[in-house]
A and B are shown apart, each in its own frame.
Chain A
Amino acid sequence: MTARGSAARRRLVSSIMTGACACAVVVALVPLGLVLAYIASKGIGSLDLAFFTQLPKPHGETGGGMANAIVGSLKLIGLASALAVPVGVLSGIYIAEYPGSPLASIGRLAADVLNGIPSIVVGIFAYGLVVLPMRRFSAIAGAVALAIMMVPIVTRSTEELIKLVPASLREAGLALGATRARVTFGIILPAAFPGILTGILVAVSRIAGETAPLLFTAFNNQFWSPGIDQPTASLTVQIYSYAISPYDDLHRQAWAGAFVLVVMVLTISMLARLATRRLERMRIG
């Protein structure tokens, strides 16, 4: 902060450095632009009706599609949410309602730790936990792996959202003689709901793009997967196996898949963002 050298020199340094920061922004946006442009140009051109409606063809034949992979991904996301949302919301409620208790601190810490665990490690854990005892790769195993990754996000956002609900609401309910449970589920949760939904959507957008935890759990399938106890194709794993193959047609399908995946993830993120903005407007207004 001391004046070193002439004022003009200091101003020059300032201009250079602020310019460098602007450059950093450009440098970061270049790969973003390249990636999005590549996906859009190669992906859109590769989409055809067959992609959405057909099953993969035998190894090496051209044509076919990722219909089962798209449905499989949706199934996995749905199952994972069904598992993660109750766990995340209820644990978030506890941590928010009893913030002083040791269990709340443990829960919060555990959620943070869970958030940072690499997805491949979660995958091998789910293999040991579900696939081995069941003696089968299955959609439920994949869903368990994805759910484990969703829980911390849902827990934290539930906790934060419930804390934001004004204390007066809770106190009013309790004063009127309602039980804690009634107050939480009848008053507080509905008030916090848009924010919690945002948290769920953020969690979904995170796992929708995951590949590693599915490699040893949901495995893959060339056909439709009946029920939830069979190996399931997923968009991400399919893109992976096509990307490293030598067949040009499979590369084409991989781009199409990547395009669909990116659109899916961005749409969910967008929805989450819209819900956040709505929430902020509700709070301020």
Chain B
Amino acid sequence: MLRKRGDDGAFRIWTGLFALLVAVIVLGIGFELWRHSRLPIEKFGFGFWTGTDWDPVQEEFGALPFIWGTLYSSLIAIVLATPIALGIAIYIVEIAPSGLRKPLAFLTELLASIPSIVYGLWGIFFLVPFVRAIETAVAGTPLHRLPLFSGPPYGIGMLAAGLILTIMVTPFISSVAREVLRAVPMAQREAAYALGATRWEAIKVALRFGRTGIFGAVVLGLGRAIGETMAVTMLIGNNPQVSTSLFAPQYSMAAVIANEFSEASGDVYLGALFEIGLVLFVITLLINTASRLLIWSTARAPSRRPAPVKPAAAEAA
């Protein structure tokens, strides 16, 4: 191949180098994270992930509270966001009058464009007092005795973090679900209608056809929620405890890195934070790969879609 066109070699090598660079960056990140994590890995081993003590004084580091907080907040986000996102996707693709489609799609994209820090700012001054009011109201009812709703009404805590994540994750799930639904062949729906299905029943057929892709969309949203840093840091309460209560201030993996990285003194402390970063890296890697596989099995990516049939005239130089 290199010898075919005499002066092709340089082009191929140079551009190839840059493609290689992208891969090198990814490997480099993984390697750096692993390298700095060696100390705590040696010291704590697997106990790092089951320990609940985050004690910089005693140099005892257990990261379970952060995994818990990350998973709990992400779970809340996925549980709340998925029905809403699917509803939006279904509405835009299947139900909305054609004039409404573009504006609605635009508005959902708008939700995704707002920077995380702005969500955090809005969260502090609007969402937290709102959540605090709800928590205070619940605290007055017998619900307060349930572990899910126990604790003083801080406002800041798992519920606020979960809600802001819901808002941030919805547009991601929705836009991918939209693509998936659009890729479902019209024939599926038409067959349903031909057999006398109602609107909703035809939609169910489409959903069924694209269910793998939709599941992939949800997984993608999960990956997004797990990696979110700023908005969560500002709303979650920064308390490394494992608690089932929505009211309790807790901590997440990304938040602890953001708060403590610039001042972790001592190699073990810093290494512990790097190890958390390493796990974040691996988790999001796995989730994103999984979601991509799921999505592509149903919705074909735009580059793979058969090119629109154009008259030959347009193609001729």
> What's the nearest-Cβ distance from chain A to residue B281, in Å?
5
Instruction: Let me know if A222 is at the binding interface, CB within 8 A.
Output: no
A148-189 residues with Cβ-Cβ distance < 8 A to B are: 148, 151-152, 155, 159-160, 163-164, 166, 168-169, 172, 174, 179-181, 184
From 82 to 138 in chain B, residues with beta carbon under 8 angstroms from any chain A beta carbon are 83-88, 90-92, 94-95, 104, 107-111, 113-122, 124-126
Q: Is the CB of A181 within 8 A of B7?
A: yes
Q: Which of B42-50, B71-79, B227-235 contacts A (4 or more CB under 8 A)?
A: B227-235
Using CB atoms, name the residue of chain B closest to A22: B91
Give the dominant DSSP class at A's interface. Answer: helix
A86→B19 CA distance, assembly (Å): 11
Q: Which residues of A contact B (CB under 8 A)?
A: 1, 3, 10-11, 13-14, 17-18, 20-25, 27-29, 31-32, 34-36, 38-39, 86-87, 90-91, 93-95, 97-98, 103-104, 106-107, 109-122, 124-125, 127-129, 148, 151-152, 155, 159-160, 163-164, 166, 168-169, 172, 174, 179-181, 184, 205, 208-212, 215-216, 236, 239-240, 243-244, 251, 254-255, 258, 261-262, 265-266, 269, 284
Residue pairs across A and B with Cβ atoms less than 8 A apart, 6 shown, are: A21-B94, A103-B16, A179-B7, A212-B230, A216-B262, A244-B234
Q: Which residues of B contact A (CB under 8 A)?
A: 5, 7-8, 10-12, 14-16, 18-23, 25-26, 28-29, 32-33, 36, 83-88, 90-92, 94-95, 104, 107-111, 113-122, 124-126, 167, 170-171, 174, 192, 195-201, 203-205, 223, 226-230, 234, 254, 257-258, 261-262, 273-274, 277, 280-281, 284-285, 287-289, 292, 302-303, 308, 315-317
Given A28-B88, A121-B33, CB of A184 within 8 Å of CB of B115: no
- Across the interface, which residues of B come within 8 angstroms of A254, CB to CB? 121
Write the chain B residue with the least CB distance to A236.
B117
Q: In the assembled complex, how far is the CB of residue A165 from the closest CB belonging to chain B, in whole angstroms?
A: 11
Tell whether, in the assembled complex, residue A14 and residue B201 are in contact, meaning their CB atoms are under 8 Å apart.
yes
**What CA separation (Å) do A107 and B117 show in the bound complex?**
31
* Contact yes or no, B281 A179, CB < 8 A: no
Given contacts A18-B199, A25-B104, A117-B281, contact A90 B29 (CB under 8 A): no
